[in-house]
Amino acid sequence: MKRTKNVNRARLLISCSDQPGIVAAVSEFLHRKGANIVQSDQYSTDPEGGMFFMRIEFDLPSFEEEFSSVEEEFHTIADRFDITWRLESERKTKKMAIFVSKEDHCLLELLWRWRSGELDVDIPIVISNHEDLRDIVESYGITFHYIPVTKETKQEAETDAKSIMKDYQVDFIVLARYMQILSPEFVKSFEHRIINIHHSFLPAFIGANPYKKAFDRGVKLIGATAHYVTNDLDEGPIIEQEVLRVNHRYDTGELKIAGRNVEKIALARAVDWHINDKVLVYENKTIVFN
């Protein structure tokens, strides 16, 4: 069932050094703007010299006028406490591009949740380095772009992809089992706005055929990790992880099926949290107000 948007709702996310008076100052500021705070979450890494993180949802009765006013004037609070912040409106629907290769399980999970209204997002484009999933994507009424990638054409392919992202005004990217390593230049263009999924055997069973290696080792847990992409391969800030218990009766094929199940669940959950501005990144960690 499609989620109902609250057209008067906004979200404020802040991070700064922990210090007295932050909550009071932010709350008083919003009160002066006529805001009604409906949810407030906060976290401090250490009250003595640590970091402070906060996510506030609030309603603004005179939204169009007051939202701009909050955006223009909050710097007075931000400057006072040296706050890093961003303000989001529930009226704006984020635009998500999906990058895929040949495997379809994560892609289909995202498309199904999008069509059912579980993911409040626009998906204007799917990009792939293979043609295999074109028919599936186009059956959802979504534009499919085939951009082949070779060692010799990698830079050109990424340039084409960035141009497409700009044309469609994409807010963030999801790598739904996209089997290409992105360049540092591309990652920098979408810092903390590229979400990836991989199996959680790492650093064990690295390389090809991880499920065969896991079977040979007799693993008892299958896992998946969704994270923001950085230039350290598969080591970016973790957004979500999921696990499933298995046993000796699982063969390699069944382990792979279990892995696909946890991958698509973890990825969809991470995407949902990103869409709803529930994730704050600090260094190589995330604070998730879910």
In whole angstroms, give the CA distance from residue 180 to residue 120. Answer: 27
Asked if residue 3 is part of any domain, the answer here is no
CATH number, position 253? 3.40.50.170
Same domain, yes or no: 178 and 245: yes
Same domain, yes or no: 145 and 252: yes
Choose the catalytic residue: 59, 120, 160, 234: 234
CA 190 to the chain's CA centroid:
11
Based on the residue annotation, tell me whether 272 is a catalytic residue of this protein.
no
Same domain, yes or no: 213 and 145: yes
Same domain, yes or no: 80 and 122: no
State residue 204's pLDDT score.
80
What token pair was written down for 104? 């379809």
State residue 90's pLDDT score.
94
Question: Of 44, 65, 89, which residue is a domain's last?
Answer: 89
Sequential pLDDT tens for the chain (290 residues) = 566 789 999 999 999 999 999 999 999 999 999 999 999 999 998 877 799 999 999 999 989 889 999 999 999 999 999 999 999 999 999 999 999 999 999 999 999 999 999 999 999 999 999 999 999 999 999 999 999 999 999 999 999 999 999 999 999 999 999 999 999 999 999 999 999 999 887 668 877 788 888 899 999 999 999 999 999 888 899 999 999 999 999 999 999 999 999 999 999 999 999 999 999 999 999 999 99
In whole angstroms, give the CA distance from residue 209 to residue 255. Answer: 11
Asked if residue 2 is part of any domain, the answer here is no
Same domain, yes or no: 142 and 241: yes
- For the question of whether the overall pTM of this predicted structure is more than 0.85, the answer is yes
Q: What Rg, from alpha-carbon coordinates, does the chain have?
A: 21
Residue 54: give the domain boundaries.
9-89
Question: Of 43, 71, 89, which residue is a domain's last?
Answer: 89
State residue 206's pLDDT score.
75
Q: What pairing do the DSSP bridges indicate for beta strands 238-245 and 51-59?
A: unpaired
Same domain, yes or no: 169 and 49: no
In whole angstroms, give the CA distance from residue 116 to residue 113. Answer: 5
Asked if residue 220 is part of any domain, the answer here is yes
| Three-state DSSP class for residue 251 | coil
State residue 207's pLDDT score.
74
CATH number, position 37? 3.30.70.260
Number of domains in the chain: 2
In whole angstroms, give the CA distance from residue 265 to residue 288. Answer: 16
Residue 220 is given by DSSP the state S
**219: burial class by Cβ within 10 Å (0-12, 13-18, 19+)?**
buried
Same domain, yes or no: 78 and 104: no
Residue 45 is given by DSSP the state S
Contacts of 35 (CB under 8 A, 6+ apart): 10, 58, 59, 60, 66, 70
Same domain, yes or no: 75 and 25: yes
Per-residue pLDDT tens over the stretch 13-22: 999 999 999 9
State residue 123's pLDDT score.
98
Asked if residue 19 is part of any domain, the answer here is yes
